[in-house]
């Protein structure tokens, strides 16, 4: 590993949140192409079985994270709040939001058939969903969508990477049948 890789590695290890190529370039003094080339070297370096972490790219930047194969061991201590288990109601609600966003609470309740106030609060507290606007109808209902933390938790680069729904599932998730 070269000095530029070591510099980028050090910056990544000091950042609490993912950092993009532009900010890595600014912090290291390397041009963007050098940053990208060295990120590729680092990703290959950490891809081996001898490392417990891997370099991941998310929509908002790059970060180190434990390899998925180690989460079974680490989850008991480090999984609280970030990777802790979600209830079935929370997973159902989160799925509806992910596939239907932006979506109002009343629309979620229509799909699930039960109230979701507590689940919405819990998912918001875990920073998996957030308010992303208001509906342009009387009452101006709050619209919800997923967050970067949602993408990171489910190891997605973007919402477009969600598994595709077949026609029957599609009708369950969308109030009017259209995404």
pLDDT digit string (tens) for 122-154? 899 889 999 999 999 888 999 999 999 898 888
pLDDT of residue 84: 60
Given phi > 0 = left and psi -120 to 50 = alpha, else beta, which region is 124?
A: alpha
Q: Which of 25-29, 56-60, 97-101, 136-140 has the weakest average pLDDT? A: 56-60
Please answer whether residues 157 and 93 qualify as being in contact, where contact means their C-beta atoms are separated by less than 8 angstroms. no
> Where do the domains of the chain lie, and which CATH numbers do they carry?
3-70 (1.10.10.10), 88-173 (1.10.10.10)
pLDDT of residue 170: 60
pTM for this predicted structure: 0.52
Tell me 50's DSSP state: T
């Amino acid at each position: 590993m070269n000095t530029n890789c070591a510099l980028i590695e050090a910056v990544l290890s000091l950042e609490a949140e993912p950092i993009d190529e532009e900010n890595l370039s600014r912090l290291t003094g390397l041009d963007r192409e050098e940053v990208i080339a060295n990120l590729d070297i680092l990703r290959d370096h950490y891809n081996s079985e001898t490392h417990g972490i891997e370099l991941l790219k998310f929509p908002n930047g790059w970060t180190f994270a434990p390899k998925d194969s180690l989460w079974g061991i680490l989850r008991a201590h480090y999984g609280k709040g970030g990777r802790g288990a979600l209830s079935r109601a929370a997973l159902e609600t989160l799925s509806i939001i992910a596939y239907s966003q932006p979506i109002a609470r009343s629309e979620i309740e229509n799909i699930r058939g039960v109230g979701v106030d507590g689940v919405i609060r819990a998912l918001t507290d875990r920073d998996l969903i957030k308010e992303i606007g208001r509906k342009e109808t009387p009452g101006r209902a709050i619209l919800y969508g997923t967050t970067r933390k949602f993408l990171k938790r489910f190891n997605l680069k973007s919402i477009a990477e969600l598994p595709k729904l077949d026609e029957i599932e599609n009708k369950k998730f969308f109030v009017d049948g259209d995404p």
